[in-house]
Amino acid sequence: MKETTIIQADDSYTYLYPAADLSHEDMLGCVWDILKDDDISSHGVILFLRNHYTPMEIPVLPSRDTFISRYRSLDLSCITTIMEYHGDPIMITYRVDDHTLAVVIPAAFRETIDDLEKNVIPDVLDHNPKN
């Protein structure tokens, strides 16, 4: 897997990962799977459409099939999810054009980023080394 970039701010860390080249359908399915993980609570989803300046907020997550079928035909530039993981707020963004996954965690995060990589986001990460 290509090396992770870490950006440190005063109160948070941002981890940038190379993400798999996912179809819109696969990407939406991965987002749904992440949000339905047993360790995730109180979540929200924001879809950013290409060439639109107002994001679409999804206040209630429908079933997996409905979520995918409802949004797969949209020209998405990124999907952002905001959630709680074991009581800590985290944000995950998948950027479509450059296949990048950004994970933002608070500096006082009680878990390790390794835990997120193994248990929350593994299906989205690109595990194929880039030459």
Give the domain ranges of the chain.
5-119
Query: Average pLDDT for consecutive 10-residue bins of the chain (131 residues)?
Result: 76 88 84 82 85 82 90 90 88 88 89 82 63 33
pLDDT at site 113: 84
DSSP H or E run through 19: none
pLDDT at site 129: 44
- Distance in angstroms (rounded) separating the CA atoms of residues 109 and 87: 9
pLDDT at site 2: 57
pLDDT at site 66: 93
pLDDT at site 8: 85
Which amino acid does the sequence have at 88? D
- Distance in angstroms (rounded) separating the CA atoms of residues 4 and 34: 20
